[in-house]
A and B are shown apart, each in its own frame.
Chain A
Amino acid sequence: MLRILFKILFYNLQMARFYYALYIFLMISCVGREDKVQEASVKRPTVAVVNYPLYYFAKTIGGDFISVYLPAIEGDPAYWKPDTKQVINFQNAALILDNGAGYAKWMEKVSLPSSKIVNTSMSFKDQWIETDEGITHSHGPEGEHVHQGTAFTTWLNFKFALKQAASVHQALKNILPEHTDQINQNYNQLKNSLGDYDKRMEAIASALNGQLLIASHSVYQYLEQGYGLNLLSEHWEPDNMPTKEQWEAVEKVIRDHKVNIMIWEDAPIQEIESKLVDLEITIVVFRPCANRPETGDFMNIMNENLLHAERVINSF
């Protein structure tokens, strides 16, 4: 009888141990799963941007705390047109960084939540440069009007780029208050780099001393305004040979003003380069970098631009 009782007791003890071990195992696996669920639920806020400079500023300042959405765009993002899916991506972002100054005209034609949009060039709105887009026309009772535009490659003036970065910094702090310290640190590094570039550009402008330069395209308005350059803008494309009339007009300017530098958005084709060399014109490639570069990043490209300009100036 005692033996039977002992067996039952022993059996129950064994079972109790088994249940205890099973309980511990389940608890551990549950905790592990909970952690995974928590990890998955900690989603990084998406910041949607309209061009590459803002992508770079947001990525540099926000680091791994954010994911930055810049759609794959062919050509200049300023003239890009989104499809419905891409508009929805912008709508769903936690923050939409707009360049302002009339950049990304597509934003006028889509529906976005205004509370999420940050116009990064608003702080220097009074210094936006107005341009005339098209001809004066009239129809109906409203009378004559011309569609006014604004020059929008604001970041080419590094002082404005700094202000835009400051605007991105503030917007990111607002959506990620818990990471303020790291965001401040990242911003300060970017601020210092942009400040250095600004000083280098000031030095280049000072060396040029008001000398007339020809720009291949009218994208350098803010560079001209910010550093007191003297630019004459043409409408030439780096991969299209200009017409005879265009060459004649430029040759006249070169003769009249003794111009010896021409700024290009990208390296022109060999044919153009040879003809410019014949005219004793030195090419300075100064890429606006509005879209993602094939290699390097925004700061690399701007550094290359400045190095190129510095080399050309030192060679004179």
Chain B
Amino acid sequence: MRQSIYLAYKYISFHKTRSIVLIFSLSIIIYLPNGLKKLIIKSEAQMIKRAEATPLIIGAKGSSTDLVINTLYFQQEKTASITMEALAKLNTTGFGYAIPVLSMFSARNFPIVGTDLDYFNFRKLELLSGRWMSFVGECVIGSLVAEKLDIGVGDSLVSSPENFFDLAGVYPLKMNVVGVLEPAYSPDDQAVFVDIKTNWVIMGLGHGHEDLAQTNDPTIVLERESTEVKAGAKLYMYNTISRENMDNFHFHGDVSSYPLSSLIFVPNDHKSETILRGRYASGEFEEQVIVPADVVNNLLQRIFRIKQVFDTVFILVGVSTLLILGLIVALSVRLRKNEIYTMFAIGSSRGKVVEIIACELLILTGNSLFLAGILYSITGFFVEDFIQNIIL
């Protein structure tokens, strides 16, 4: 047997290219259905876990899927917004508490999520370094943001403008990084968290500029009357919020009319949740209430119907690969006719020849399995990317 393995090994080493191609094609055929299955199961579990951990989402009427994806995964779909008044109303019901979420902007391709400190408690997020944001203009970044951008506490991050060609549009805001989150292995790792008010500043609802009452520069102040000052475009708007200029930042209009993408509502108990949902169903509130787990389950069911198609394809590809493998073996036996004859001539039995060929197949299959195993084991690391790029 040892001699057969030795001869099989020598034969495979001699025909390196052919053997490598065979090992790779076999390992891919073994890996693909299993890896995809693992990816799907893990993604499904992760999506359901996050959805189930979020009791209720409240948002503007429209696509419930977009609303859930925006709230849970910060995918900045164009969803209609609700106002802060909805949050105040919900908090007075006494059924639980609402957490605001506003995800419309990004900073270096990572979503900026405007919320408040309740969000971190609710998701049980911990700090790896630094502190929670205390003032407007500060941000706490997810672990992947810190890793990929190579930034940490004390650094800054600039919000990306909505449209580079809109010169009169929203000014980018330079945010101070005050904390980095511990890895949570969820979309929170890829988010830049700011206070909701910071997000409103980015939107242009709040801004800071020098005090017009104190400015005498005629190129800034175009008109001045006793009760009215008109400033020109030269008026400098602060693009960073510091302790020095914070007093000059202000919000215009009624804050209760300011926008939110959605609200995460955490009810006190099941009874409170049921009563609240009933009140939404009766039309007492303008917004819609969503149970994220239901929406995600529905979404997954629709998406994973494709999995059945994949399974069929993989079975067919597998069968054809096995047939090709059989053909390769048959052809190689025919090609090795002289070699096999020599083996017979020097006294080898028919069984020994079969044994050597079987050993060759065994080595090829073993290596393919090993490679497929490696691929399978690293598949788990790509669950989040799979969810973000393929499912959502």
A positions within 8 Å CB-CB of B: 81, 84, 87-88, 91, 108-116, 122, 134-142, 144-145, 147
Chain B interface size range: 35 or more
A109 near B230 with CB under 8 A, answer no
Find chain A residues with CB under 8 A from B100 CB: 114
11 A-B pairs within 8 Å (CB atoms) are namely A88-B132, A91-B132, A111-B136, A114-B100, A114-B118, A137-B231, A138-B229, A139-B235, A140-B233, A147-B250, A147-B252
Residues of B205-243 whose CB lies within 8 A of A = 209, 212-213, 226-233, 235, 237
**With contact pairs A134-B213, A137-B231, A145-B252 given, residues A111 and B134 touching in the complex (Cβ less than 8 Å):** yes
B136 near A110 with CB under 8 A, answer yes
- Picked from B117, B230, B255, the residue with its CB within 8 Å of the CB of A91 is B117
Find chain B residues with CB under 8 A from A137 CB: 212, 228-231
B197 near A109 with CB under 8 A, answer yes
Shortest CB distance A135–B (Å): 5
Shortest CB distance B342–A (Å): 83
Let me know if B131 is at the binding interface, CB within 8 A.
yes
Complex: A207 Cα to B235 Cα, angstroms? 54
A139 near B232 with CB under 8 A, answer yes
- Picked from B88, B117, B226, the residue with its CB within 8 Å of the CB of A112 is B117
**With contact pairs A135-B213, A142-B252, A147-B250 given, residues A111 and B227 touching in the complex (Cβ less than 8 Å):** no
Q: Among the interface residues B117, B230, B251, which one has the most CB atoms of the partner chain A within 10 A?
A: B117
Find chain B residues with CB under 8 A from A108 CB: 136, 197, 251, 255
The secondary structure that dominates the B interface is: mixed
A87 near B212 with CB under 8 A, answer no
- Picked from A81, A84, A140, A141, the residue with its CB within 8 Å of the CB of B134 is A84
Output the nearest chain B residue to A85 by Cβ-Cβ distance. Answer: B134
A113 near B118 with CB under 8 A, answer yes
A139 near B209 with CB under 8 A, answer yes
Complex: A147 Cα to B100 Cα, angstroms? 25
Let me know if B249 is at the binding interface, CB within 8 A.
yes
Shortest CB distance A71–B (Å): 14
Across the A-B interface, give the 9 residue pairs with the lowest CB-CB distance, nearest first. Answer: A115-B97, A139-B231, A111-B195, A113-B117, A87-B134, A137-B229, A136-B228, A113-B118, A111-B133
Find chain B residues with CB under 8 A from A139 CB: 209, 212, 230-233, 235
B231 near A138 with CB under 8 A, answer yes
Find chain B residues with CB under 8 A from A91 CB: 117, 132, 134
Complex: A140 Cα to B231 Cα, angstroms? 8
Output the nearest chain A residue to B134 by Cβ-Cβ distance. Answer: A87
Complex: A141 Cα to B58 Cα, angstroms? 32
Let me know if B121 is at the binding interface, CB within 8 A.
yes
B228 near A114 with CB under 8 A, answer no
B135 near A135 with CB under 8 A, answer no
**With contact pairs A84-B134, A135-B228, A136-B227 given, residues A111 and B252 touching in the complex (Cβ less than 8 Å):** no
Shortest CB distance B213–A (Å): 6
Find chain B residues with CB under 8 A from A142 CB: 252
Find chain B residues with CB under 8 A from A81 CB: 247
Let me know if B300 is at the binding interface, CB within 8 A.
no
Shortest CB distance B176–A (Å): 12
Complex: A88 Cα to B262 Cα, angstroms? 26
Shortest CB distance A235–B (Å): 16
Complex: A81 Cα to B245 Cα, angstroms? 13
- Picked from A115, A136, A140, A141, the residue with its CB within 8 Å of the CB of B229 is A136
Find chain A residues with CB under 8 A from B5 CB: none
Complex: A122 Cα to B118 Cα, angstroms? 21
Find chain B residues with CB under 8 A from A116 CB: 118
**With contact pairs A137-B212, A140-B233 given, residues A88 and B134 touching in the complex (Cβ less than 8 Å):** yes
B168 near A141 with CB under 8 A, answer yes
Let me know if B138 is at the binding interface, CB within 8 A.
yes
Shortest CB distance B40–A (Å): 36
Shortest CB distance A48–B (Å): 13
